[in-house]
Amino acid sequence: MNSYVTGAMIRKLREDKNLTQEELAKMLHVSGKAVSKWETGQGLPDISMLEPIAKALEISVIELFSGENVVNRNRSSNLLRSVCYVCPVCGNGILALGHAVVSCCGITLPPVSLEDEDEEHTISVSYDDGELLAALSHPMEKDHYITCLLAVSDNGCQFIKLYPEGEAMARFRPERVKWIYAYCNRHGMFRVNVKGIRK
């Protein structure tokens, strides 16, 4: 049962809430047999049932679609452990404080993993007039460019959007910044540790 929602997910979440099939069925105004069919892969819930199922199981519809119950265990909200998601369709960037189910343009997005630096994707960082200056030697062409630069500290994030045919550089307030990230629309995410850079 892998069309748009998995029966195994419904069963796991139902059992986690200590509900019987009959109890869940009563909450959804369906028969216990219908719930059994969903869980065993012999049938699919109607699309109109997805929101009531998600509500009854206390998860989001996106989590139900993705087949995984995401729990953010990063309760301390440490930005240094944040996760970035980027939509390949529109370029939208989302920074989360822990793993999440993120959807954009109808696509469930995977977390962005860090790539190894190369000549076009090495971030140089220096201090200039009391600010952190981050720059890359990148062609910044219409179909290949750095979409954004981010400065991440333990208490916030500074985000600068970049555009094709512009410069691959940005200035940031330096207070407590630990990492500078750059996202290339073709090659992914790169970062550099700011620690040790002389003022």
4 against 111, higher pLDDT: 111
Q: What is the mean pLDDT of residues 149-157?
A: 87
Q: How many CB atoms lie within 10 A of CB 70?
A: 16
77 against 121, higher pLDDT: 121
| Separation between Cα atoms, residue 17 and residue 56, nearest integer Å | 10
| Placement of tokens 């890359």 in the chain | 136
Burial class (CB in 10 A: 0-12, 13-18, 19+), 110: exposed
| Separation between Cα atoms, residue 110 and residue 103, nearest integer Å | 9
What is the average pLDDT value for the chain, to the nearest integer? Answer: 84
* pLDDT over 60 (residue 3): no
Say how many residues make up the chain.
199
* 182-193 confidence digits (pLDDT tens): 999 889 899 999
Q: What is the mean pLDDT of residues 141-161?
A: 90
Strands of the chain (E only): list them: 83-86, 93-96, 102-104, 107-109, 124-128, 131-135, 146-153, 156-161, 169-172, 177-184, 188-193
* pLDDT over 70 (residue 126): yes
Quote the percentage of the chain above a pLDDT of 70: 89
| Separation between Cα atoms, residue 13 and residue 42, nearest integer Å | 18
pLDDT value, residue 2:
42
Model confidence at 1, pLDDT cuts 50, 70, 90, reads very low
pLDDT value, residue 125:
95
Cβ-contact 68, 2 below 8 angstroms: no
How are beta strands 188-193 and 124-128 bridged, if at all? unpaired
CA distances to 41, 183, 184 from 88, rounded to whole Å, are: 32, 12, 11
pLDDT value, residue 79:
62
